[in-house]
Amino acid sequence: MADSDAVRSRRKRLHAQGDHSACRRNCQVSRGSLKIAPLSPEAVESFDPSVSLRALAARLEAASVADPANSAVAKELRSTLMLLMPNPQASVDAELKLLMSELSRPVPRSETRDLAQ
Ligand SMILES: [Zn+2]
């Protein structure tokens, strides 16, 4: 069903004023079409995933504080924070690796002589 002239002209007027609440789907502004430029070579060079992850967590935290009922934001915040938490298994693995390398280290001559005495 086609819109009446009154509805169409109201929509056109609101759109021109920057109010896209009455716009149809084909309005590019209301869709918030975002122009994303590629990262500069310097930005690519200095890109640090852990810094980016911390920044994302901070933005999600701010969004979650502003809108505590938004479960999608809360869920994403939780999974981002989980990635930032230190992995206890990783530190155990590192300690074991260090211990194993200590144990497999050849015993220096001075120590073997001390044992012989
Ligand atoms: Zn519009």
Ligand 1 center from residue 59 Cα (angstroms): 28
Ligand 1 center from residue 17 Cα (angstroms): 9
Cα separation, 17 vs 98, whole angstroms: 67
**Residue pLDDT, tens place only, 20-39:** 888 887 787 755 666 778 88
**Residue pLDDT, tens place only, 35-74:** 778 889 998 999 999 999 999 999 999 999 999 999 999 9
Ligand 1 center from residue 27 Cα (angstroms): 5
First vs last Cα of the chain: how many Å apart? 104
Ligand 1 center from residue 29 Cα (angstroms): 5
Ligand 1 center from residue 87 Cα (angstroms): 48
Is residue 116 pLDDT above 90, yes or no? no
Ligand 1 center from residue 68 Cα (angstroms): 30
Residues 6+ apart with CB under 8 A from 22: 7, 10, 11, 14, 15
Domain boundaries, the chain: 1-30, 47-85
Cα separation, 80 vs 31, whole angstroms: 27
Ligand 1 center from residue 40 Cα (angstroms): 32
Percent of the chain clearing pLDDT 90 (strictly above): 40
Cα separation, 56 vs 58, whole angstroms: 5
Nearest to 59 by CA among 42, 115, 23, 51: 51
